Amino acid sequence: MDSNNTFNPRLSVITLALLAAFGGPAWADDEIDELIKPESTVSIGVGHWSNDRPQQGIYDGMRENESPHLLIDADIVKRDDATGTWLRFETRNLGLDNREFSGEWLRQGNIGIKVDYNRITRESPQTFNTPLQGAGTTNQTVVNSGLATAPRRDLTLGTTREQTGLSFYKNLLPGLEFNVNFKHEEKTGERAWSPGHAVQFVTEPVDSTTRQLEAALSYTTKKWQLRGGYNGSWYKNNNPLVRVGYTGAASNTNPTYLSFPGDNEAHQLFLNGGYNFTPTTRATLKLEYARALQDDYLPTSGVTDWPAAVQAAVGPDKLDGKVDTRLAQFGLTSRPFKNFSLNASLRYHETKDKTPIRTFSTAGQPYNATAPDYVRNSYKTITSKLEGTYRFAEVYSFTAGLEDKRQDRDRPLRVTGAEKDIVVPLRSEVDELTGRLELRRSLSDTANGSVSWLHSKRSGNRYKRALWDHSDDIGLGGLQDVRNLTNPLHMAKRDRDRLRVSVDWSPLEALSLQFSAEEGRDKYHDHSTMVNGLDKGTNRLYTIDAVYTATDALKLNAWYSYDQNKAEQSHYRTHTTGGAGGGFGDPAFKYSDLQDTGNSLGLGLRWEATSRLDIGADLEFFRSVSQYDQDVVPLDAGGVPVFPTTANLSLGAPDIENKLLRLSLFSVYTLDKSSKVRFDFIHERWKTDDWTWQFADGSPFVYGANVNTDGTTVYTKPKQVSNFVAVRYIYSFR
């Protein structure tokens, strides 16, 4: 209700009078219907991008080579008010490669069914010019002979997901509902891959089927609620293996077999319950039990043309993978006093790997001690949380919370029961304790906000050492020490602090401002014996948003964000053997200071210029700079090999700057009560000096470090400028 207009002749009263007098003229019904009946819209148009946009068009299905684009959207809704029956058909991007549509029939509160289709495309921004034979198939041949005359072609890699869904809903009794959702996905395409033993180009042919089913029964009363059911998921890989051969004779001409993930499936039973002891005290319970299975044939088990130098696989032809997951969680929320509330929970989550420990290849190879026996990875995590909030002075609240997370991990075992060799030192226990304080102001007309501080400490038991010595002592010398100098990032002892301040301020009725500042610091420890790994981390974010409603017809908004993420880490290089310090010793250290810094800006305008014309404009600008500063100490002379060498390498990685500017303009002109025309114009500029697919001099990356080179060249488009124009006709009806 418009409170400034107290003398307001009520049209409903007038309408009532007119209805009584004239039997309900159509215009009166129309006006009310426009406000209270669902509206359908159909939009049909055409759009065109002036240039290709390999980076910005990865997902939007509008690469220039497919232009012009047919733009079709529709949302058609029919409702029978007498029975509460909805019939809905919706489509987006129907004329594009990433189209989607759905149809739904629903008798509200009783029964419903929905069918949907969604297509997600991903086109790689790189172009691969390659002589590779059989790209995208399971039998590929790297051309390493007659390269000068070998036919080459351009490959643009990409994947497509086609998702089909079916949902059914039925209200069985008051409060008792049954839901079932099924989703089927076919994923096809190809991605960049490698035979593994050298920097060569082959493609990963993607062809898989995924199915997911959830069936749940929910029962709800005012006092208690239950929801339980079944979740099933199935993954089928239609490509078991890729054979990579070579056209020419060379040192590495034997076929290589690249494996795919095997078919897997998981079955879960779940139960979730809630009970209201009082209007202010509630308990919840979650129980889940899941079993994941992977019993597909090992892809290399049927291979017969192994190279002479490679021994065939032995042992079982299946992994018989079995992983059980259990969850039990109890939660309690309560407001024992008017101004004080509590939130407590205890959570037990266990992933138990029950896959048999077996050997799948013949022993006797060099480095036999690292033969590929299956390694189990099991985790048991217990998390307890307690948080209290005290409200005072009507608009303030103070929150203090504590969370303790304790994780136990399996130690890898060999077939014999002994501990298996590992390549990274591991901990069998990792614990993290987090405390949090927050002061919040809310419910004020003009200024609300919060300031919060979080501190956490992560630690664990002593590391199990990598490779042959599994003791948790340090200082045995030789390779044992050299390979145990790095704290893994997810287990390292760490102190974390986070400070966050946010303010919502409305100095004027027409103006609202939002400030937010965040500063986080991580400090990693344990460097006395394991001197390398992450050392420090910083993240910060400063942002301001403003919305100004100039008039009832004009609204402006603006925002700016500065963000920075830093990681400082130390690492080292050492000779494989024979260094000046003897054997593996005398590592040379390097220290990296990695930074990602972003500046982002957005400006927007929405203007109802006339009763028929709406105009909008958005300007977005994003700039990110990634820095890779390194302080590298040269290795002592002698030994093999020394990385890097100045002759072949740049000795350093330059900064990378990405810039995106996008100006979007649109106008919507109302032709009549049911018809509109919309015009769109977008100017988009993308620029990068990303060297991911470049050599040090900026030339395109060419595959091949040895005799197997096929000269596959990778092209990127570092600067992309394109304009988009579109016109749409929009028809609305009821």
Given candidates 294, 716, 720, 722, which one binds other proteins under the rule CB under 8 A? 294
Q: Could you give the angle at which helices 26-36 and 11-22 cross, rounded to 10 degrees?
A: 140
With a CB cutoff of 8 Å and minimum separation 6, the contacts of 278 are: none
CA 638 to chain centre: 45
Given candidates 52, 104, 177, 432, which one binds other proteins under the rule CB under 8 A? 177
CB neighbourhood size of 704 (10 A) = 18
277 binds other proteins (CB under 8 A): no
153 vs 490, beta carbon nearer other proteins = 490
> What is the spatial distance between Cα 363 and Cα 489, in angstroms, rounded to a whole number?
33
Q: Judged by CB under 8 A, which stretch of 152-160, 331-339, 673-681, 721-729 contacts other proteins?
A: 331-339
> What is the spatial distance between Cα 415 and Cα 361, in angstroms, rounded to a whole number?
13
Given candidates 129, 389, 538, 723, which one binds other proteins under the rule CB under 8 A? 389
Given candidates 91, 130, 208, 722, which one binds other proteins under the rule CB under 8 A? 208
CA 602 to chain centre: 23
305 binds other proteins (CB under 8 A): no
> What is the spatial distance between Cα 577 and Cα 583, in angstroms, rounded to a whole number?
5
> What is the spatial distance between Cα 400 and Cα 393, in angstroms, rounded to a whole number?
18
DSSP 359: B
Compose the 497-526 pattern: x for residues touching other proteins by CB under 8 A, - for all others.
Answer: ---------x-------x-x-x--------
84 binds other proteins (CB under 8 A): yes
Given candidates 24, 25, 68, 109, which one binds other proteins under the rule CB under 8 A? 109
Compose the 575-594 pattern: x for residues touching other proteins by CB under 8 A, - for all others.
Answer: xx-------x--x--x-x-x
Given candidates 489, 508, 609, 613, which one binds other proteins under the rule CB under 8 A? 489
Shortest distance, position 333 Cβ to other proteins, whole Å: 4
Shortest distance, position 696 Cβ to other proteins, whole Å: 4
Q: Judged by CB under 8 A, which stretch of 133-141, 454-462, 553-561, 674-682 contacts other proteins?
A: 553-561
72 binds other proteins (CB under 8 A): no
Given candidates 70, 269, 476, 649, which one binds other proteins under the rule CB under 8 A? 649
With a CB cutoff of 8 Å and minimum separation 6, the contacts of 198 are: 252, 705, 706, 708
Give the residue among 528, 593, 597, 611 at the shortest CA–CA distance from 565: 597
Give the residue among 720, 613, 620, 601 at the shortest CA–CA distance from 664: 620
Backbone torsion region of residue 495, taken as left when φ is above 0, otherwise alpha when ψ lies between -120 and 50, otherwise beta: beta
In a 3-state reduction of DSSP, which class is residue 420?
coil
725 binds other proteins (CB under 8 A): no
Shortest distance, position 329 Cβ to other proteins, whole Å: 8
272 binds other proteins (CB under 8 A): yes
Contact 270, 228 (CB under 8 A): yes
Element (H, E) at 20: helix 11-22
Shortest distance, position 65 Cβ to other proteins, whole Å: 18
Near other proteins in 650-669, by CB under 8 A? 650-654, 656, 658, 660, 668
476 binds other proteins (CB under 8 A): no
Concatenated DSSP letters for 493-545?
A: -EEEEEEEEEEEEEEETTEEEEEEEEEEEEEE--TTTS-EEEEEEEEEEEEEE
Give the residue among 497, 399, 390, 387 at the shortest CA–CA distance from 450: 399
Residues that bind other proteins (rule: CB under 8 A) add up to a total of 229
With a CB cutoff of 8 Å and minimum separation 6, the contacts of 194 are: 200, 201, 202
720 binds other proteins (CB under 8 A): no
Query: Which of 650-653's residues contact partners 24+ apart within 8 Å by CB, and which partners?
Result: 650/696, 652/628, 653/628, 653/691
Given candidates 159, 233, 384, 529, which one binds other proteins under the rule CB under 8 A? 233
Given candidates 164, 188, 194, 538, which one binds other proteins under the rule CB under 8 A? 194
68 vs 175, beta carbon nearer other proteins = 175
> What is the spatial distance between Cα 599 and Cα 167, in angstroms, rounded to a whole number?
43
Which pair of structure tokens corresponds to residue 192? 């960049």
Which stretches of 304-339 are assigned E, i.e. beta strand? 321-337
Given candidates 151, 304, 367, 672, which one binds other proteins under the rule CB under 8 A? 367
> What is the spatial distance between Cα 705 and Cα 250, in angstroms, rounded to a whole number?
14
Shortest distance, position 530 Cβ to other proteins, whole Å: 10
> What is the spatial distance between Cα 622 and Cα 346, in angstroms, rounded to a whole number?
42
In a 3-state reduction of DSSP, which class is residue 685?
strand
Shortest distance, position 661 Cβ to other proteins, whole Å: 12
Given candidates 122, 170, 380, 457, which one binds other proteins under the rule CB under 8 A? 122
729 binds other proteins (CB under 8 A): no
Near other proteins in 131-160, by CB under 8 A? none
> What is the spatial distance between Cα 107 and Cα 228, in angstroms, rounded to a whole number?
23
145 vs 259, beta carbon nearer other proteins = 259
21 vs 418, beta carbon nearer other proteins = 21
Given candidates 111, 310, 357, 663, which one binds other proteins under the rule CB under 8 A? 310
Near other proteins in 411-470, by CB under 8 A? 423-424, 426, 440, 442-443, 445, 466
Shortest distance, position 640 Cβ to other proteins, whole Å: 9
Shortest distance, position 519 Cβ to other proteins, whole Å: 12
79 binds other proteins (CB under 8 A): yes
Near other proteins in 530-549, by CB under 8 A? 532-534, 541, 543, 545, 549
Which pair of structure tokens corresponds to residue 71? 């733009």
495 vs 689, beta carbon nearer other proteins = 689
Given candidates 151, 552, 637, 672, which one binds other proteins under the rule CB under 8 A? 552
Q: Residue written as tokens 């969604």?
A: 118
Give the residue among 184, 238, 191 at the shortest CA–CA distance from 210: 184
Given candidates 24, 25, 175, 638, which one binds other proteins under the rule CB under 8 A? 175
194 vs 456, beta carbon nearer other proteins = 194
Q: Across the strands, what pairs with 662?
A: 620, 684
Near other proteins in 397-416, by CB under 8 A? 397, 399
Shortest distance, position 221 Cβ to other proteins, whole Å: 8
703 vs 724, beta carbon nearer other proteins = 703
Which pair of structure tokens corresponds to residue 58? 């990865």
Shortest distance, position 281 Cβ to other proteins, whole Å: 10
Given candidates 181, 188, 212, 459, which one binds other proteins under the rule CB under 8 A? 212
Does residue 644 have a cis peptide bond before it, meaning omega lies within 30 degrees of 0?
yes
SS (H, E, C) 25-39: CHHHHHHHHHHHCCC
SS (H, E, C) 50-104: CCCCCCCCCCCCCCHHHCCEEEEEEEEEEEECCCCEEEEEEEECCCCCCCEEEEE
Element (H, E) at 218: strand 202-220
193 binds other proteins (CB under 8 A): yes
Give the residue among 617, 660, 717, 721 at the shortest CA–CA distance from 154: 717
608 binds other proteins (CB under 8 A): yes
Compose the 9-48 pattern: x for residues touching other proteins by CB under 8 A, - for all others.
Answer: xxxxxxxxxx-xxxx-------xx-xxxxxx---------
Given candidates 536, 695, 721, 733, which one binds other proteins under the rule CB under 8 A? 695
37 vs 455, beta carbon nearer other proteins = 37
Contact 181, 170 (CB under 8 A): no
Given candidates 180, 198, 215, 386, which one binds other proteins under the rule CB under 8 A? 198
Q: Judged by CB under 8 A, which stretch of 43-51, 129-137, 143-151, 210-218 contacts other proteins?
A: 210-218
108 binds other proteins (CB under 8 A): yes
